[in-house]
Amino acid sequence: MNELETKVYSALGKLIDPELGKPITELGMVGAISGDLKQLVVEIKLTVVHCPQADYIEQSAKALLEEVFPQVTIQMSVMSKAELDSLKILLRGKQKSNPFTANSATRVILVTSGKGGVGKSTIASNLAVGLAKNGNKVGLIDADIFGFSILSQMGVTARPTRLDDMMLPPESHGVKVISIGMFFEGNEAISWRGPMLHKAIEQFLVDVHWGELDYLVIDLPPGTGDVSISLGQLLPHAKVLVVTTPQPAAAEVAIRSGLAAIKANQEIMGVVENMSWLENGITRELIFGSGGAAKVAEQLTSAAGYPVEVLVQIPLNQSLAESSDQGMPLILKDFEDNASKELQKLVRTVAAVKLGKAARTLTVKLGQ
């Protein structure tokens, strides 16, 4: 490299591609460099024609170079097919594969429930942003084909950027988000059969460039259906949070989804009770009765052979409902609210669980 190129690379090495999380100099995005130390011309190659980050990359590159060179011209272009192929190999290696196998350092958390409307997605979104807020790299998959609400709860309007068959997930509140709702109009996915769903879920894991994640949170459809079975096969070391309300009917079906997870060799991390009571001054109104989560925990403890506990009890709360509707998870908005405090406790509890081999060894021992 000559002096001009060295200076350009050193300046542009500070520019991180927002979607790929690496300096543009490492991604092959810096093209021809011409001119001299006074009048510089640099080509920046975008990965795709309509790259949503084009303006940001162009302006940032110009600003960084203007710190070093008096006159800078940026010429924007697009990578060739061969350059894009090299980039994909750089990002994911030669062979596409599921990065979340048993050896991966990413902690995978499946959020499940027996029936819809119990707050599963609300809990998954708050958990994901809470973990991200604490400095973790977090991905969130909305696999709830019956009620994909993560996009609105997370305030995501962008769609993934496609590099051929590779997808770059949009980020919201520090969390990379992919939802089944990004790929379908209306209710198309609901009529899908098992193999199609399996393929879609597999693509969320394999074709999405997640980068290195500390946590992957997955919002499952309620019940014990095909998506849960697929995820059981694809993510054998996933840990499961079972969400229920205090109502016996919700608890009964939550137990069934917990049992399905145990059968799929997944470890139950604990039970989350939502809508536990309505706060009315200092009194608590037990709108949905009481004891649902305790019953789920008790039954799953005896089925799993290890203690399954009720981790938190989240009250019914207007702020929680409103914040979901506004696309701003409550955990980011209000620290003092009682529902927010329980969600913060859930984040701490989940963060304290280490990626252990214990559960895997245990399930193998039990021969499940």
* Residue 118 Cβ vs ligand ADP, minimum distance, rounded to whole Å: 4
The DSSP secondary structure of 183-244, one letter per residue, reads: S-STTGGGG--HHHHHHHHHHHHHTB---S-SEEEEEPPSSS-HHHHHHHHH-TT-EEEEEE
Tally: H helices and E strands in the chain = 13, 14
**Comparison of 151 and 235: residue with beta carbon closer to ligand ADP:** 151
Closest distance to ligand ADP from the beta carbon of 363 (Å): 26
Distances in Å between the alpha carbon of 232 and those of 105, 203, 215? 18, 15, 17
**Angle (nearest 5°) at CA 52 between 47 and 58:** 75
Nearer to ligand ADP, 72 or 178 (CB): 178
Which one, 64 or 347, has the nearer CB to ligand ADP? 347
- The DSSP 8-state label assigned to residue 106 in this structure reads P
How many angstroms separate the most distant Cα atoms in the chain? 76
**CB-nearer residue toward ligand ADP: 45 or 120:** 120
Which residues contribute to the site for ligand ADP (CB under 6 A)?
A: 113, 116-122, 147, 149, 274-275, 314, 316-317, 320-321, 324, 339
* CB 273 within 8 Å of CB 342: no
Alpha carbons 43 and 173: distance in angstroms, whole number: 32
Q: Which is nearer to ligand ADP, 151 or 359 (CB)?
A: 151
Q: Are 175 and 140 in contact (CB under 8 A)?
A: yes
Burial class (CB in 10 A: 0-12, 13-18, 19+), 342: buried
Of the two residues 60 and 317, which places its CB atom closer to ligand ADP in the complex? 317
Shortest distance (Å) from residue 219 CB to ligand ADP? 7
Task: Specify the amino acid at residue 141.
Answer: I
Q: How far is the CB of 57 from ligand ADP (least distance, A)?
A: 36
Q: What's the closest the beta carbon of residue 269 comes to ligand ADP, in angstroms?
A: 17
Q: Cα torsion for 151, 155, 157, 159, to the nearest 10°?
A: -50
Cβ at position 330, least distance to ligand ADP in Å? 9
Q: How far is the CB of 152 from ligand ADP (least distance, A)?
A: 9
In this complex, which beta carbon is closest to ligand ADP, that of residue 171 or of residue 337? 337
